[in-house]
Amino acid sequence: MACVSRPLRVLIVDDDALVRTGLAMMLDGAEGIAVVGEAADGEEAVALAGTHFPDVVLMDLRMPGVDGVAATRRLRGTPRPPEVVVLTTFDSDDDILRALRAGASGYLLKDTPPPRIAEAVRRAADGEPVLSPRVARRLMDRVAVHAESRRRARTALAALSPREYEVALAVARGLSNAEIAAELLLSVATVKAHVSTVLAKLALDNRTQLALLAHDAGLE
């Protein structure tokens, strides 16, 4: 957390000089915030952070050379890691998740109003996560979709008998009928019968679909 007795030190990282200039002018005019440096790529950002020790880094995502994700990961691994808030035009699920997994504490889009960017800097310095509303909705939608897929898959598998369930999980693990028979102490003919019944009950066409269903249920 940043010391409250001095302005928050901010490093701006963007490969567009006009964007850097605009952000610097806006943030330098915000109460309690001081821009201590500007970098055009991730490599320069890491170097400047080691000199200026910013509290918060506003990080562009896609830049030549070392991109924002790699730079974020490197910054968060330093002895005095700054908070990193991604500020980008890209809001794909992959971009968002890569940045957050690398250690970013915030993800804002460049259409975010200037006062909200300044507020995000303050919140990030206080250890609070900050997300653009659109980004937050995408993450919630992703979680909801995955949760619903898991619920449906588990509901479907719950219709199986205990023995059918064991066979289904064995199929999902990639075992052959002979291997399943040996593991569950059944005949191969009995295993084949169980597999056929499982596929019919679940309205599936093949073993691959069964494996995918188990994956969706989080059981493979």
**Are the beta carbons of 33 and 8 closer than 8 angstroms?**
yes
Please report, as a single letter, which amino acid is at residue 70.
A
pLDDT mean over 85-92: 86
Confidence of residue 135 (pLDDT cuts 50, 70, 90): confident
Question: What are the φ/ψ torsions at residue 39 (nearest 5 degrees)?
Answer: -130, 145
Residue 2 has pLDDT above 60, yes or no: no
Percent of the chain at pLDDT exceeding 90 = 54
Q: CA-CA distance, 36 to 11, in Å (whole number)? A: 6
Residue 109 has pLDDT above 70, yes or no: yes
56: its two tokens? 């918060």
The predicted structure's pLDDT at residue 150: 85
Confidence of residue 102 (pLDDT cuts 50, 70, 90): confident
The ranges assigned to domains in the chain are 8-131, 149-217
Least confident range from 111-120, 141-150, 181-190, 209-218: namely 141-150
Higher pLDDT, 168 or 5: 168
Confidence of residue 146 (pLDDT cuts 50, 70, 90): confident
**Are the beta carbons of 10 and 57 closer than 8 angstroms?**
yes
Q: Which CATH number fits domain 8-131: 1.10.1270.20, 3.40.50.2300, 3.40.630.30, 3.30.465.10?
A: 3.40.50.2300
Residue 174 has pLDDT above 90, yes or no: no
pLDDT mean over 16-39: 93
User: From residue 97, how far is each of 89, 105, 132, 141, 166 by CA, in Å?
Assistant: 15, 11, 14, 13, 34
63: its two tokens? 């830049």
Confidence of residue 137 (pLDDT cuts 50, 70, 90): confident
**Are the beta carbons of 46 and 73 closer than 8 angstroms?**
no
Domains 8-131 and 149-217 share a fold: no
Q: CA-CA distance, 75 to 40, in Å (whole number)? A: 15
Least confident range from 10-19, 64-73, 87-96, 130-139: namely 130-139
pTM of the model: 0.65
Least confident range from 1-15, 79-93, 149-163, 172-186: namely 1-15
Residue 46 has pLDDT above 70, yes or no: yes
Q: Which residue in 153, 142, 140 sits closest to 220, CA to CA?
A: 153
Q: Which residue in 23, 126, 36, 45 sits closest to 83, CA to CA?
A: 126
Long-range contacts of 209-213 (CB under 8 A, 24+ apart): 210/168, 210/171, 210/172, 211/171, 211/172, 211/174, 213/153, 213/156, 213/157, 213/172
Residue 1 has pLDDT above 60, yes or no: no
User: Is the domain defined by 149-217 classed in CATH 2.20.28.120?
Assistant: no
Q: CA-CA distance, 205 to 83, in Å (whole number)? A: 50
Residue 142 has pLDDT above 90, yes or no: no
